[in-house]
Amino acid sequence: MSIKDIRLFGDPVLTTPAIEVVTFDRELRQLVADLTDTMVDAPGAGLAAPQLGVGLRVFTWHVDGELGHLVNPVLQLSEDCQDGPEGCLSFPGLKQDVRRAARAVATGFDMYGEPVTVEGTEILARCLQHETDHLDGILFVDRMDPATRKLAMKAVREAEWAGGTVPTVRLSPHATFGRGM
């Protein structure tokens, strides 16, 4: 097992866009193993490489008993939306409602460079969007409506794990379908 420390809100790596993977080698396979072990141990529904301090476009997920990973993901999102509670391993203990597309199709590669397509609804759709946002330097607080974000940031300031400078909340570069921000 290779369980790593998860970077917490306030760490600049979490708001820095990750770069595309160009080499599908043993190091990448080790990163996928580290992400998987750390995510399962946490436990979480997903974990992106920046959350381990690695600025590469890779994430893992564990939803409905299915483990998977995706390298260099590209999302296609439905126009219909879902609202629901969402958490993040980089925000221990924080859960807030976030609006997401109800269906997501993610294309990318596995750790060997083979093409992969993952289709998800409900929790898997939410997870695919959440983890891809991490790769773009976007955090789930960036997706919250202003009132919810205010409550979330108050909870962050009061959390035992919080410390240091709180980064500026950024607007997501992804379509919000006229909702949210």
Tokens 């080698």 locate to 25
Cis preceding-peptide flag for 43 (omega within 30 of 0): yes
- Stretch (H or E) spanning 77: strand 66-77
Is 158 designated active site?
Answer: no
The alpha helices in the chain, defined as continuous H runs, are 26-41, 122-135, 146-158
CB of 35 within 8 A of CB of 60? yes
Query: Of residues 20, 131, 158, 160, which has the active-site annotation?
Result: 131
The contacts of residue 75 (CB under 8 Å, 6+ apart) are: 104, 105, 106, 128, 129, 132, 174
SS3 string, 84-96, reads EEEECCCCCCCEE
Q: How far lies 141's CA from each of 95, 111, 112, 119, in Å? A: 10, 29, 33, 24
Positions annotated as catalytic residues are 131
